[in-house]
Amino acid sequence: MWDVKRDPLADSQKIRFLLEENAQSLSFADVLERWRECPDFSLWFSQQLAELPFTAFRWETPAVTASTVSRLFEFVVIDSPALVRQADRTAFTEHFSSAAPESVVSFSNLRGDAILVVPCPSHSAVDYCHLADFVRGASELQQQELWKTVGTVMQARLNEQPVWLSTAGAGVAWLHVRLDDRPKYYGHQPYRSERV
């Protein structure tokens, strides 16, 4: 049903992905809808990331607006071994305190220029320092909830101002998916400099 096209980029530290369903390319709108409505798609998507050869990676998409949400969905992953470190379970404690373990929360960052989607810690010893840890160690239910929340928050955020969807993680050692007003932490230059 779903398929992925992987394109290793020149420096071999990045891989570009395109997604298909029944041999048809998926748009941003398609992917956002499937994250919200199709738990099996979310698990399949996580599995594609879990199978990557990188111990840790950053995940970046090009910018999108309400007018460009029909563009092809693509993303790059960037090998990021520096993200392998001790996770900080206390990083977002004030947001975790009222949430159930293994749930997902979303909130604005301190500057108010990004929305963060963050998995809450589980009772197990599994930590989510970065996206690779999460897709390889989180429960299926929490993985589904993360992508559902990303799809829901992203859909609500879409307007004529561009939004960059990504993970970074160099500053805070706990996975947080970013919906940014600008590509301030982007490592893939074509997405960083693209005019929207």
pLDDT digits (tens, 9 = 90+) for 158-195: 999 999 999 999 999 999 999 999 999 999 999 999 88
From the list 133, 142, 169, 135, the residue with the least C-alpha distance to 49 is 135
**What whole-number distance in Å separates Cα of residue 152 and Cα of residue 20?**
21
For the segment 10-29, what is each residue's pLDDT rounded down to a tens digit?
777 999 999 999 999 999 99
| Six token digits for residue 54 | 């990188």
Give the alpha-carbon dihedral of 65, 33, 130, 182, to 10 degrees: 10
**What whole-number distance in Å separates Cα of residue 175 and Cα of residue 130?**
5
Helices 28-37 and 140-157 sit at what angle, rounded to 10 degrees? 130
Percent of the chain with pLDDT over 70: 100
pLDDT value at 196 more than 90: no
Q: Are 119 and 175 in contact (CB under 8 A)?
A: yes
Confidence of residue 123 (pLDDT cuts 50, 70, 90): confident
Give the alpha-carbon dihedral of 88, 89, 93, 98, to 10 degrees: 160
Helices 39-50 and 140-157 sit at what angle, rounded to 10 degrees? 110
CA distance to 17, 24, 49, 113, per residue, from 154 (Å): 19, 23, 20, 14
Q: What is the mean pLDDT of residues 123-141?
A: 91
What is residue 142's predicted lDDT score, i.e. its pLDDT? 96
